[in-house]
């Protein structure tokens, strides 16, 4: 299983939000490139970057920083936050980014996203699907920064893109993101049971090495972790050892 470190950018700084709330941001560094270099020492293959300013405005405010990280790093960089048209995807890919992360548009403008998936291929597009678990246990997708609920389950959404070459899906249980509450392992395992071909990225709630091991035992291909790494709850040595023993 791949461990994917995460960097969230706000005003050019590395931060973490609690459950997506911009009012509850913790600043970790004013040098995101240095954070990326530290993550590179973990011998990870991938790096996940979110432009939080872009997510709010639809404009790529941190483009220069992210492009510099992509150019400097041997990791495959995937970027999300405010990517809302084909031109933005082309710009990021031209800047050396490996994958563009598409969120709410997968629900609100699925035809456009499908056309991007066909044009650029499944290796360059990641669907970021944020879910809330309802009272009946259904993983319903929420959009627009987790502020608008939908009646579409994560399974229905994935099925709609499956035949177009969808390869990468990043799924976040909103209730667990940034809360260090443990990942929703059953949710991710259910997705993999239905869609075994996916390179699923489990996101939200990873606290420690034991959580990573539990995800690996259930066959989850990848897990994103930000706060646990930044807080030192998962150490460099643990990540390196975990990946060597994959």
**pLDDT bucket at 191, cuts 50 / 70 / 90:** very high
DSSP code at position 168: E
pLDDT tens-digit readout, 132-166: 989 899 999 988 766 677 899 999 999 999 999 99
Angle value at C-alpha 118, between 83 and 96, nearest 5 degrees: 50
10 Å CB burial of residue 180 (0-12, 13-18, 19+) is middle
CA distance 118 to 191: 22
Check residue 180 and give its pLDDT: 64
Beta strands 139-143 and 125-133 are: antiparallel
Q: Which residues are catalytic?
A: 8, 130
CA distance 8 to 68: 15
For 24-61, give one letter per residue: b (16+ CB within 10 A) or e. ebeebeeebbebbeebbebebebbbbbbbbbbeeeebb
If we measure between CA atoms, which residue out of 90, 92, 80, 91 comes closest to residue 130?
A: 80
**pLDDT bucket at 193, cuts 50 / 70 / 90:** very high
Could you give all domains of the chain from N- to C-terminal order, each with its CATH number? 2-244 (3.20.20.70)
């Amino acid at each position: 299983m791949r461990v994917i470190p995460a960097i969230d950018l706000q005003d050019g700084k590395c931060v973490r939000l609690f459950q997506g709330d911009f009012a509850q941001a913790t600043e970790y560094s004013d040098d995101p490139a240095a954070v990326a270099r530290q993550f590179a020492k973990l011998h990870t293959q991938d790096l996940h970057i979110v432009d939080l300013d872009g997510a709010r405005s639809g404009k790529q405010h941190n483009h220069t920083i992210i492009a510099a990280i992509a150019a400097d790093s041997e990791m495959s960089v995937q970027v999300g936050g405010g990517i809302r048209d084909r031109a933005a995807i082309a710009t990021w890919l031209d800047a050396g980014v490996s994958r563009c992360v598409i969120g709410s548009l997968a629900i609100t403008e699925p035809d456009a996203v499908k056309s991007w998936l066909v044009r650029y291929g499944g290796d360059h597009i990641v669907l970021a699907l944020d879910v809330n678990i309802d009272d009946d246990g259904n993983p319903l997708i929420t959009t627009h920064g987790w502020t608008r609920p939908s009646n579409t389950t994560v399974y229905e959404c994935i099925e709609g893109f499956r035949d177009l070459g969808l390869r990468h899906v990043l799924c976040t249980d909103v209730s667990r993101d940034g809360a260090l509450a443990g990942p929703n392992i059953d949710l991710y395992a259910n997705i993999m049971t239905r869609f075994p071909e996916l390179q699923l990225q489990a996101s939200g709630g990873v606290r420690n090495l034991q959580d990573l091991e539990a995800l690996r035992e259930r066959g989850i291909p990848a897990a994103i972790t930000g706060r646990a790494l930044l807080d030192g709850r998962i150490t460099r040595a643990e990540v390196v050892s975990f990946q060597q023993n994959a």
